[in-house]
Structure 1
Amino acid sequence: MLLIVGTVRLPPENLERARPAMLAMAQASRAEVGCLEYGYAEDVFVPGLIHVKELWSDQAALDAHFASAHIQTWRAAWPALEIGDRDLRVYEVGQPRVT
């Protein structure tokens, strides 16, 4: 499995305009074959900081995701929303354990 975690930033005043694009991206991604989890979360302490978490079954699923039309639409929205300072990392992970 592949785990993607990290953050993106945008001006806090653009967050309301970003929500529909973020929702569309999350819904389309969650419907993809191999997407086990996909989400965005606002940081409660830093306005405009969005935490990203994705879990993919394998590299083929992630490659298909990166080639999808909805990711192209999402990326095309970034300049108008002033989304920047992306810090996303991919990790290979095993099966989760309950703590």
Structure 2
Amino acid sequence: MLLIVGTVRLPAANLERALPAMRAMVEASRAEAGCLEYGYAQDVLEPGLIHVKELWSDQAALDAHFASSHIQAWRAAWPALEIGDRALRVYDVGAPRST
């Protein structure tokens, strides 16, 4: 499994305009084969800081995600929404365990 975690930033004033594009991206990604989890969450202390968490079954699923039309549309929206400062990392992970 592949875990992607990190953050992206946008001006807090642009968050309301970004929500429909973010929702479309999350919904389309969650419907993809091999997507086990996909979500965005706004930081409670820093407006405009969005936490990203994705879990993919394997590299082939992630590659298909990166080639999808919805990720291309999402990335095309970034300049107008002033989305930047991407800090995402991919980790190879094993099976989850209870804490």
| Aligned-partner residue type, residue 70 of structure 1 | H
1:42-71 alpha-carbon deviations (Å, 9 max, x no partner)? 000001000000000000000000000000
Name the counterpart of 1:69. Answer: 69
Instruction: State the TM-score, normalizing by the size of structure 2.
Output: 1.00
Distance (whole Å) between structure 2 residues aligned to residue 67 and residue 50 of structure 1: 22
Report runs of 4+ in structure 1 exceeding 3 Å deviation.
none
State the TM-score, normalizing by the size of structure 1: 1.00
> How many aligned residue pairs are there?
99
Separation in structure 2 between the aligned mates of residue 30 and residue 87 of structure 1, nearest angstrom: 21
Q: What secondary structure, in the 3-state scheme, does the structure 2 residue paired with 1:8 have?
A: strand
In the alignment, structure 2 segments of 5+ residues that lack a partner are: none
Residue type of the alignment partner of 2:35: C
Aligned: 1:15 with 2:15: yes
Which residue of 2 is the match for residue 96 of structure 1?
96
SS at match of 1:37: strand
Instruction: Tell me what 2:32 maps to.
Output: 32
Identity %: 84
Per-residue Cα deviation, 1:47-98 (whole angstroms, up to 9, x for no partner) = 1000000000000000000000000000000000000000000000000000
Distance 2:47 2:53 in 1: 18
Give the unaligned 5+ runs of structure 1. Answer: none
Secondary structure (helix, strand or coil) at the match of 1:97 reads coil
Secondary structure of 2:64's partner? helix
Separation of aligned partners in 1, 2:71 and 2:45: 28
